Amino acid sequence: MLSKNPNAVSLSVAIALALATAHVAAAPDSDHGSTGSPRTESSDTKRGPTVEVTARRESTVIDATLAAVRVIDRAEIERRQAGDLMELLRTEAGVDITRSGGVGQATTLFLRGSNSNHTLFLIDGVRVSSANSGLYDLAHLPLANVERIEIVRGPRAAFWGSDAIGGVVQIFTRKVDGYAGRVMAGKYGRLGVDASIGGQGERGEMSLTVGQEQTDGFSATNENAYGFNPDKDGYENNHARLNIASSIGEQMLRFAAQGTQAEVEFDQGVTDAENTSAVLSIEGALADRWTHRLDLGHSREDLDTPAYFAAYEARRNTLDWHHQYTLNDATTLSGGVNYARERGAELETFGNTEVFGARRHNTALYAGVAHHAGAHDLEFTGRYDDSSVFGGEATFQAAWGWQLADATRLRASFGQGFRAPSLNELYSPGFGGLFAGNPALQPEQSDSLELGLRHDFNGDHRIEASAYRTRVDDLISFSGGETYQAINIARADIDGVELEYSGHVGAFALVANATVQDAQNRDTGTDLLRRPGQKGTLRVDYTLSGGASLGTEVFGSGTRQDFNGPLPGYGLVHLVGSLPFGERWRVGVRVENLLDRDYEVLSGYNTPGRGAYVTLSYGE
């Protein structure tokens, strides 16, 4: 079925095909050159070190990173056959995800017990959270567009600025060499189709993906929800993604763009949601031991809900210029400049009038040093942000690593974080004068301490433990006066422990994690909403001869508070299998919620029952 409104995707495809006719070709064996994300083997294998770039904005082998980092690469995405980002990410340590119904409904992430707007989301280095709401909705980005995901748990404001209180999630868009395609079908009338083409040459590369997904869905709400309507709430998504790279002398010029156009049905109507991000970058060596990366980024969000005569527009343009200088074999200096300009608006579409419109900009400088001395590693980074709204904000990060033995490493860190108020929180007139914004709001502040220990057992088994303590002040709460205006008043205490294990026993690959957290409102002593005190995951994969595989995922979550009171804990079991055939063909099956558990992650909203999904892919 073709989209009812395919203009955004059609335009992207037309541009992509035009650009694809240009001369492209060879990219070096990395996604982002000296400061990007090299292509590596799966983090679940033993065939080489995995490299991440998000923790320090530079390529770092995970074993040397002084932070809690998880990398999900393309091989793992294909092996697990998750249907969307929610199913892929919610089994990760320290990650809690909520969704208001089925596929395509609003999906938000809580990292290390912090608020859903306390995680910085990046796509190819570009901020993608809405300037209006401060949130990023994971529902609309298809996994067909994703090459790898890096999750850094813990504050990163000294490197990235606002929003990175709980951590950073960076998504790198996919590149293919040759042809690839996928067809998926399953319960609730779900159907998805994606096609990719790419090529490499002597001076660059090009890769393009287009696709569509739709589902009839099920009733997103139940009788406990406001305005409950038992009809099915369907979803449709059209998407396109383009990556181009070309060498210019010693520099590599890259362009990456992705866009989605979605129709989300809910009880009272339909919301049209369009999201786009793009980045133009150049990177390489400026001199001996001196490299740089310059990014020009753009992100935008458009939401239109005719039933409410409401539309929202958000735009952001950014400039990031990062430098790295190797002083000697033991010391590396880094730093850079960032500039961001944002615009947001709320429109009343019945009378075509503007409810509010606002602009702001932010300029930042940051610098850091990393030093290696025998068994010890040290990092120090500082940043200063100057906002046109709230003025200056300084943040600091320090970390220490100690290689106790060849197989054992201890790390400790302190980090500050902050979140600038969203445009809605600053300027929205609210609803009939209630829950209005407040231009006098100040940024939310946080301090975090973390201690981590990792140990390898003969290269076949690895365990890692992380303990953290986070204190957040000046949280924004709509509780001011008789009109419930936004004010800086709330405070939160968040403490937690994360345990992770990965290993191999013959043909079996094992991954397990457990998270215990205590996230409380410091003033009332009550639990923060929608964050369970305990959760855990066990994944077991068995590889047969010829490349076929069988696996299972077991996930459990404890009780958590919501607006209508506590929600009980729940457990899920998924089965996964895949079988290669021919040269590049593979058929996969994923059975979700095998035991057909009835559960809620949000009060008043339904979740999927048992369902099977079959995927036929080529070239993946």
Q: Is the pLDDT of residue 9 over 50?
A: no
So what's the pLDDT on residue 146?
95
Phi, then psi, of 38 in degrees rounded to 5: -60, 150
Confidence of residue 202 (pLDDT cuts 50, 70, 90): confident
Element of type H or E holding 575 = strand 570-581
CA angle 453, 35, 173 (to 5 degrees): 90
Domains of the chain with bracketed CATH: 7-618 (2.40.170.20)
CA distance 66 to 153: 11
DSSP 361-391: EEEEEEEEEEEEETTEEEEEEEEEEEETTTE
| Mean pLDDT for the stretch of residues 232-247 | 97
161: nearest Cα among 450, 380, 446, 394: 394
Count CB-CB contacts under 10 A for residue 545: 6
For range 95-109, the mean pLDDT: 96
The helix, strand and coil proportions of the chain, stated in percent and rounded to the nearest 5, come to 10, 60, 30
User: Beta-carbon neighbour count of residue 542 at 10 Å?
Assistant: 14
3 state DSSP class of 351: coil
What is the residue-wise DSSP string for 87-147? HHHTTSTTEEEEESSSTTS-EEEEETT--TTSEEEEETTEE-S-TTTS---GGG--GGGEE
Q: Give every strand in the sheet of 119-123, ordered side by side.
A: 68-73, 146-153, 167-173, 119-123, 126-127
Question: Region 425-443: what's the mean pLDDT?
Answer: 93
pLDDT of residue 40: 32
Which pLDDT value is given to residue 583?
87
181 Cβ neighbours under 8 A, 6+ residues apart: 193, 194, 195, 196, 617, 618, 619
Spatial distance between the Cα atoms of 593 and 265, rounded to a whole number of angstroms: 24
Q: How confident is the model at residue 15 (pLDDT cuts 50, 70, 90)?
A: very low
Check whether 138 has a pLDDT greater than 70: yes
**Is pLDDT at 24 greater than 80 in this prediction?**
no
Rounded-to-integer distance, Cα 404 and Cα 452, Å: 12
Instruction: Summarize the confidence of residues 223-234 as an average pLDDT.
Output: 91
pTM of the model: 0.91
Q: E strand or H helix at 179, and its extent?
A: strand 178-186
Q: Which residues contact 165 (CB under 8 A, 6 or more apart)?
A: 114, 115, 118, 119, 155, 157, 417, 418, 419, 444, 446, 448, 470, 472
- Which bin fits 594, alpha (ψ -120 to 50), beta or left (φ > 0)? alpha
What's the CA gap between 167 and 157, in Å, rounded?
9
How far apart are the C-alpha atoms of 292 and 343, rounded to whole Å?
29
CB atoms within 10 A of CB 56: 26
Query: Of 508, 409, 538, 522, whose CA–CA distance to 62 is shortest?
Result: 409
The distance from CA 277 to its chain's CA centroid, rounded to whole angstroms, is 14
Question: Given this model, what pLDDT does residue 109 score?
Answer: 97
What's at 513, amino acid-wise?
N
* CA pair distance 581, 328, nearest whole angstrom: 51
Q: What is the mean pLDDT of residues 71-80?
A: 93
CA 383 to chain CA mean position, Å: 23
Please name which of 541, 545, 610, 620 lies closest in space to residue 587, comparing C-alpha atoms.
620
The confidence score (pLDDT) of residue 116 equals 94
Please list, residue by residue across 369-389, b when 16 or more beta carbons sit within 10 angstroms of its beta carbon and e when fewer do.
Answer: ebeeeeeebebebbbebebeb
Residue 581's φ and ψ, nearest 5 degrees, are -155, 160
Confidence of residue 306 (pLDDT cuts 50, 70, 90): very high
- In angstroms, the first-to-last Cα distance of the chain is 24
Compute the distance between CA of residue 424 and CA of residue 551 in angstroms, rounded to an integer: 44
Contacts of 81 (CB under 8 A, 6+ apart): 576, 578, 588, 589, 590, 613, 615
Q: What is the average per-residue pLDDT within 390-412?
A: 97
pLDDT band at 51; cut points 50, 70, 90:
confident
pLDDT band at 12 (very low <50, low <70, confident <90, very high): very low
Predicted local distance difference test score (pLDDT) of residue 390: 92
User: Across the chain, what does the average pLDDT equal?
Assistant: 91
In this predicted structure, the answer to whether residue 7 has a pLDDT above a threshold of 60 is no
Q: Per-residue pLDDT tens for 110-120? A: 999 999 999 99
Is the pLDDT confidence value at 548 over 70? Answer: yes
- Going by the DSSP 8-state scheme, the letter that residue 8 receives in this structure is H
Cβ pair 581, 604 in contact under 8 A: no
* pLDDT over 80 at 367, yes or no: yes
Please report how many Cα atoms fall inside a 13 Å half-sphere around the Cα of residue 106, on the Cβ side. Answer: 12
Supply the pLDDT for residue 227.
Answer: 84
**Interatomic CA distance for residues 62 and 141, integer angstroms:** 26
Interatomic CA distance for residues 410 and 402, integer angstroms: 5
Percentage of the chain modeled with pLDDT above 70: 92
pLDDT-above-90 percentage for the chain: 85
Instruction: Taking residues 589-607, report their average pLDDT.
Output: 96
User: Are the C-beta atoms of residues 222 and 605 closer than 8 Å to each other?
Assistant: yes
Collapsing DSSP states into helix, strand and coil, what is residue 228?
coil
Per-residue confidence band for 49, with pLDDT thresholds at 50, 70 and 90: low
Token pair for residue 11? 């335009």
Which backbone phi and psi does 500 adopt, to 5 degrees?
A: -135, 140
- The two structure tokens encoding residue 545: 């001869």
What is the C-alpha separation between 479 and 462, in angstroms, rounded?
Answer: 47
- Cβ of 320: how many Cβ atoms within 10 Å? 23
Query: What are the backbone dihedrals phi and psi of residue 232, each rounded to the nearest 5 degrees, phi first?
Result: -70, 140
In this predicted structure, the answer to whether residue 458 has a pLDDT above a threshold of 90 is no
